[in-house]
């Protein structure tokens, strides 16, 4: 990890000045504040995410983490510090995904509240990244115009389709032909079948006599 800034907290350049510098780092998406105070006997780290958010923190000696560790470290008045560019995501030790808005911490520093609830950016950039964009409501007149345009395009395309015209003509011709055949069968069916029936009856009458004559000739 590369060290970006290092120094010592003083009355002229306190924690609020250091915090303001860190949350406005534009080229470092994930920064780590490492601080140690021999006077207050505290040593720990605070993790910062993109957009000036504070993600988490921990006290090295006690293992205390989360907002309690952040509050203790960011209210130190003395000690040595170093700000590092992690070059990757922060480790779970300093990233409890709290997403505390750094600007809100600066506004009330050093009187940080017992609970971080008031420090969350409920309407800010974090939620705009995490939530999908809201649907845009289209005015009724524009919606109706869009629907009419789509319908007109569909009708025009349908009319210009040569295959549709050809298929319709084939279907119409087939229907007329079937109707004509049915009409012919209805009108001339009996006359067509009558000669066939007579021929069959005549054949049946002649067949026994031929057989009898043949037997007599033998």
pLDDT tens-digit profile of 65-92? Answer: 999 999 999 999 999 999 999 887 888 8
Tell me the C-alpha distance between 160 and 108, whole Å.
Answer: 71
Res 211 pLDDT > 50: no
What pLDDT, on a 0 to 100 scale, did the predictor assign at position 153?
Answer: 54
Res 61 pLDDT > 70: yes
What pLDDT, on a 0 to 100 scale, did the predictor assign at position 207?
Answer: 52
Other beta carbons within 10 angstroms of residue 79's beta carbon come to: 17
What pLDDT, on a 0 to 100 scale, did the predictor assign at position 184?
Answer: 77
Residues 92-105 have pLDDT tens digits of 889 999 999 999 99
Instruction: State the pTM of this model.
Output: 0.56
* Whether the Cβ atoms of residue 58 and residue 74 lie closer than 8 Å to each other: no
Q: Which of the pair, 157 or 44, is modelled with greater confidence?
A: 44
> Per-residue pLDDT averaged across 16-37, rounded?
93
Res 144 pLDDT > 80: no
Percentage of the residues of the chain whose pLDDT score is greater than 70? 64
> Per-residue pLDDT averaged across 144-160, rounded?
54
Tell me the C-alpha distance between 97 and 53, whole Å.
Answer: 10
What pLDDT, on a 0 to 100 scale, did the predictor assign at position 118?
Answer: 87
Q: Pairing relation of β-strands 2-9 and 31-37?
A: unpaired
User: In degrees rounded to 5, what are phi and psi of residue 100?
Assistant: -85, 135
Res 133 pLDDT > 80: no
Per-residue confidence band for 179, with pLDDT thresholds at 50, 70 and 90: confident
Other beta carbons within 10 angstroms of residue 25's beta carbon come to: 17
Res 214 pLDDT > 70: no
List, in order, residues 6 or more apart from 67 with CB less than 8 Å away: 57, 98, 100, 115, 116
What pLDDT, on a 0 to 100 scale, did the predictor assign at position 23?
Answer: 92
209 burial via Cβ count (<10 Å: 0-12, 13-18, 19+)? exposed
Res 141 pLDDT > 70: no
- Kindly state the DSSP code that residue 133 receives in the 8-state scheme: P
What pLDDT, on a 0 to 100 scale, did the predictor assign at position 69?
Answer: 95
Tell me the C-alpha distance between 129 and 181, whole Å.
Answer: 72
Tell me the C-alpha distance between 23 and 51, whole Å.
Answer: 7
Write down the domain spans for the chain.
2-130, 137-194
Q: Identify the helix (H) or strand (E) that includes residue 45.
A: strand 42-49
| Cα dihedral 6→8→13→14 (10° resolution) | 100
């Amino acid at each position: 990890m590369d060290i970006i800034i290092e120094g010592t907290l003083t009355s002229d350049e306190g924690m609020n000045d250091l915090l303001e510098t860190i949350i406005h780092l534009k080229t470092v998406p994930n920064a780590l504040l490492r601080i140690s105070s021999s006077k207050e006997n505290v040593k720990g780290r605070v993790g910062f995410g993109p957009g000036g958010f504070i993600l988490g923190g921990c006290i090295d000696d006690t293992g205390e983490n989360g907002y309690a560790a952040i509050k203790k470290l960011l209210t130190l008045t003395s000690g040595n510090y170093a700000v590092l560019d992690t070059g990757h995501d922060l480790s779970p030790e300093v990233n409890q995904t709290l997403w505390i808005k750094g600007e809100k911490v600066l506004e009330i520093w050093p009187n940080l509240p017992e609970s971080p609830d008031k420090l969350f950016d409920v309407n800010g950039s974090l939620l705009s990244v995490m939530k999908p964009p809201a649907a845009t409501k289209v005015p009724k007149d524009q919606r109706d115009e869009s629907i009419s345009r789509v319908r007109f395009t569909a009708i025009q395309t349908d009319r210009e389709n040569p295959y549709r015209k050809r298929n319709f003509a084939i279907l119409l011709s087939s229907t007329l032909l079937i109707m004509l055949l049915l009409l012919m069968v209805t009108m001339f069916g009996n006359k067509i079948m009558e000669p066939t029936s007579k021929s069959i009856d005549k054949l049946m009458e002649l067949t026994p006599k031929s057989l009898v004559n043949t037997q007599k000739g033998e």
